[in-house]
Chain A
Amino acid sequence: MSLTGRRVAVVVSLAVACGRPLAAQSPEQTLSRAVVAYQNLEFDLAAGLLRRVLSVSGSDTLATASRPRALAYLGASEWFRGHRDSSAAVFRRLVLLDPRYQPDELVFPPDVTNAFAQARRDAKVVAVRAAPELAFQLGEGRYSAWLLASSSHEIAVTLVHEDGTLVRSLYRGPIGDSLEVVWDGNDSTGAVVRSGTYLVRVASHAPDGHTLRVAQARLDVAIVRRDTLPVTPVPPDSLVLPEMGPARHPLGSLFAGLLGSVTVAALPAALASGSHPTDARFAVAGAVGLAGLVGFFTHQSRPLPQNVAANRALRDTWGHRAQAAAEENARRRKDVHVVVRTGRVVVIDGESL
């Protein structure tokens, strides 16, 4: 083998030997190598490594928290390579990923930071920050989410059902740096929404009104209601006492009184005919007849005061219990809790809308 051939063989062997360790490195290690290359002003190498690590998907993909840093170094590398358009595109991609990201001014020169700031101003996008899970009582609490903007622009925040049906318009207007959007759990008609999946959409608008992009977060809403008390049953008939006494035999009293009255009046004629009785017997006869007449009317069915009072107490007790149960149920119907679980935020570019 000639000298040239031997040199080529060494270079190829070294390249193969160097290639094997590169394929086994983690994305974080690759990122670190890219940063070292950037610091050594090896912008081509740094850009190559960063593009490779950012393009990997699946299990070997770069961690989400490291991607903004990788994009920042890539944008700076492209800037120093003289690829302004590529740099701007990378910075725009970074802004879309994290609208609140700020490149470290101690690491990147002003030219790079200014380029990033311009990309940030041009890329109008909003990030949504909300608690992963929030529960509140309907009518008293609210669901809130913070909107963090990359720059001032017009936005429209809506709550839509997962099928796209508009539920409520939450905000329409400008956003400066940040904005808190709240939702009370009701739809546009004021009624509480049903349990299900919703999307909170933040649409960023250009000055001419067209939609630049939409950031939407998935909301899993669960409406929790307290069980109401069962209806208080009416007291059974077996507990209700008769309120009227049995009617005795009124005609018997009337007949006995009449017979007694006649007997008194007829005694002298029957037992002492021919005598001269006084009229005193008629007074007694009248008293007996009157007593029979009174008995006729009083023998009618009479109310039983004790039973009437007992039944009244029974009905009052049932009424109080039913009223208390109705009031408790009214309180429970108002005691509605809304549990909202916020999912991942997805940014949809305007061109895709």
Chain B
Amino acid sequence: MLGTLIPWCLAAQRASLQLGASVANTHTEDASTVGAGIASGFTPGAEGVLSVWKLRLEARYLEGHLQQDSGSIGARDVVEGSVLAGVAPIRWIAIETGIHARSYVTSGGTERWVFWEAHVRAEAPLDGPRVRAYAELWRVLSSDVTGTQPLDRGQGGQAGIILESPRVPFWARLGYGVEDVRLGGGARRETVETMVLAVGARVR
């Protein structure tokens, strides 16, 4: 159905589709009653945004390997993805909600983190529509983490800059984000810091 809907919307010139590849430098800081540590690494991925009138559908995926930097946290593979849907009541503001899942694969097994999140995103032009600054804040509404640890608090944010070329349908994004999740009454805390660079093309 999407395969039929998307081309129709694009043909009607009432929608846009952005697809791109990204690479992030992920820095994970994990602290628990058992131990703490820091792991980091590059996580390439892909992302896309479909906008139809004021509706918006966003999806991201990345995976990579995080090396142990310090502490007792070991190296791990990370696979992360999110799907958010929302509305953009005005041009520079969007409100979205959706699911965000992250899996850590270690030698000891796979740990999954699933969050239901609510996002608010704002953009501001710096040099017309070609260069924009953006900031996104989200709150974790509920979570499902391996080990059934209850959610204390989950929140995150990302900010950066978006560049679009007026002549060619390419865009680029440089952003910095941080997400902080606390579980089990303070028993565990994970902070994920990313610096992402994404490039892609858009179809209007």
A284 touches B191 (CB 8 A): no
Counting CB contacts under 8 A, is A263 at the interface? yes
Docked complex Cα distance between A267 and B138 (Å): 12
Docked complex Cα distance between A163 and B178 (Å): 110
B12-46 near A? 1/0 per residue, CB < 8 Å: 00000000000001010100000000100000000
Residue of B nearest to A256 (CB): B124
B123-144 near A? 1/0 per residue, CB < 8 Å: 0111110010111010000000
CB distance from B45 to the nearest CB of A (A): 17
- CB < 8 Å neighbour of B133 from A283, A291, A294, A299: A291
B29 touches A260 (CB 8 A): no
**B interface residues, tally (CB under 8 Å):** 31
B127 touches A281 (CB 8 A): no
A276-304 at interface with B (beta carbon < 8 Å):
276-278, 280-281, 283-285, 287-288, 291-292, 294-295, 298-299
Docked complex Cα distance between A263 and B160 (Å): 9
Contacts of A248 in B (CB 8 A): 128
Counting CB contacts under 8 A, is B180 at the interface? yes
Given A272-B191, A275-B178, A283-B195, are A295 and B126 neighbors across the interface (CB < 8 Å)? Answer: yes
A267 touches B157 (CB 8 A): yes
Residue of A nearest to B175 (CB): A284
Contacts of A278 in B (CB 8 A): 27, 193, 195
Counting CB contacts under 8 A, is A343 at the interface? no
Counting CB contacts under 8 A, is A270 at the interface? yes
Counting CB contacts under 8 A, is A253 at the interface? yes
Docked complex Cα distance between A242 and B101 (Å): 55
Given A260-B135, A276-B29, are A291 and B126 neighbors across the interface (CB < 8 Å)? Answer: yes
CB distance from A280 to the nearest CB of B (A): 4
Counting CB contacts under 8 A, is A268 at the interface? yes
B135 touches A284 (CB 8 A): no
Docked complex Cα distance between A272 and B179 (Å): 7
B176 touches A292 (CB 8 A): no
Counting CB contacts under 8 A, is B83 at the interface? no
Counting CB contacts under 8 A, is A99 at the interface? no
Counting CB contacts under 8 A, is B9 at the interface? no
Docked complex Cα distance between A252 and B27 (Å): 33
How many cross-chain pairs have Cβ atoms below 8 Å apart between A and B? Answer: 106
Given A271-B156, A284-B161, are A256 and B38 neighbors across the interface (CB < 8 Å)? Answer: no
Counting CB contacts under 8 A, is B155 at the interface? yes
Contacts of A27 in B (CB 8 A): none
Counting CB contacts under 8 A, is A68 at the interface? no
B155-171 near A? 1/0 per residue, CB < 8 Å: 11111110000000000
Chain B interface main SS type? strand
Docked complex Cα distance between A281 and B25 (Å): 11
Counting CB contacts under 8 A, is B174 at the interface? yes
Contacts of B137 in A (CB 8 A): 271
- CB < 8 Å neighbour of A294 from B126, B174, B177: B126
Given A267-B157, A280-B195, A288-B159, are A256 and B126 neighbors across the interface (CB < 8 Å)? Answer: yes
Docked complex Cα distance between A264 and B159 (Å): 6
Given A256-B125, A284-B195, A299-B127, are A275 and B160 neighbors across the interface (CB < 8 Å)? Answer: no
B27 touches A272 (CB 8 A): no
Counting CB contacts under 8 A, is A257 at the interface? yes
Task: Pick the most buried of A277, A284, A285, A287: most chain B CB atoms within 10 A of its CB.
Answer: A284
A272 touches B126 (CB 8 A): no
Residue of A nearest to B137 (CB): A271
CB distance from A281 to the nearest CB of B (A): 5
Given A275-B29, A288-B159, are A268 and B178 neighbors across the interface (CB < 8 Å)? Answer: yes
A-B pairs with lowest CB-CB distance, top 10: A260-B133, A272-B180, A295-B127, A256-B124, A284-B176, A295-B126, A275-B191, A280-B195, A264-B159, A281-B176
Q: Name A residues whose Cβ lies closer than 8 Å to a Cβ of B.
A: 248, 252-253, 256-257, 259-260, 263-264, 267-268, 270-272, 275-278, 280-281, 283-285, 287-288, 291-292, 294-295, 298-299
- Having A260-B133, A276-B29, A287-B161, one finds 13 other A-B pairs with CB under 8 Å, namely A253-B126, A256-B126, A259-B133, A263-B135, A264-B176, A267-B176, A270-B157, A275-B180, A280-B27, A288-B160, A292-B126, A295-B127, A295-B131
